[in-house]
Amino acid sequence: MRDVFVAGIGSTSFGKHIATPIESLAVEAAARAIVESGIDRERIGALYLGNFISGPLNGKEVLAGIVGERLGLGNIPCTKVEGACASGGIAFRHAWIAIASGMCDAVMVVGVEKMTHASTAEVTSALNCAMDNENDGPSGLTFPGLFGMAWRIHASQYGTTREDIASVVIKNKANGLKNPLAQMGASLTLEQICASAMIADPLQMFDCCPASDGAAAIVLCAEPLLSSQARQNKIRVLASAQTSGSPRIANHPDLCSFEATVTAAQKAYEQSGLKAKDIDVCELHDCFSIAEIIDSEDLGLVPRGLGGKWAAEGRTGMQGDVAINPSGGLLAKGHPVGATGIGQIYEVVKQLRGEHTNQVANARIGMTHNLGGTGVACTVNILGRD
């Protein structure tokens, strides 16, 4: 297997782009990545596009081909990849495989979603396609309900408090204020969080990520195609792991852990030869505040049961043991579902280059974690600065 490097990155802001067609968002991010990479479009051998709900919300299912044509990439393979909220991360892994295996020398990977033009009912219905609706649909649960249950169980097992979980919200919203791509950065107090609307008890409004529009893109390549600029600060993909878990809620023995995340992290550590203590910065899937706590424990970044306490003590903040979601995460940056996994990699690359607007000091090893549905799909990537 060949080493794979990041040649170029691009992103739109995450937020409301109601007047912009979904394919235009993807093309904007991808064009920026191509320009930064310095690689001729004729050298790009494939395009993988992560997207989840462009069919029900935008009436467009053949986005990969549309975007490939708009970019002038010729008759290369253009593939749309779907894995619920993990769609972008899975697309990235396919691009990595294509280069590592020698099938391509350069690959474009894009993630995109457009959601804010639709009604809340339409968005909720579309997102619920990430569930096994034949079996779990009759329960009436939506994803806030699922993570509300997870919160209650975590609190019962480990003593996690409202104050602990609010620490995640306060941290990520504050980080979002320093990220020009973020949708909902804010300076919040515990009192403001506790006064916000109840969504699915005990989850309140500020505990939930916003619906978002946006796109992010990465050009990956083999080392010979790296530009002179990219060679000065080489970012290498050290590991890319994908796993699956049960699509059924009842088949998860413990809602305080997702097996797909635990296994993906183990595989990524094995691939890279690294351990959790080596990670300097992590962008993980905080679709809800309690999710960051669960994810941080599943990834081995925080001891089991202490995710809330570490957040409250500042140990997952910018000056802590490991910086988690310095971009603002999904809670503040936003969650345009298919774009999220690629957006996380964009943020980590910025950190490893030392050019982020909310820079983690001396960041050399970064991790991303992208989880889909009820833990049905997961990707974990580790990148490093050579």
Report the Cα 47 to chain-centroid distance in Å. 19
The one catalytic residue in 17, 154, 285, 335 is 335
Q: Does 287 qualify as catalytic in the annotation?
A: no
CA atoms within 13 A of residue 172's CA, in its CB half-sphere: 35
Q: Which amino acid is at 367?
A: M
The one catalytic residue in 85, 208, 209, 282 is 85
Q: Does 335 qualify as catalytic in the annotation?
A: yes
Distance CA 381, CA 173 (A): 24
Provide the annotated active-site residues.
85, 335
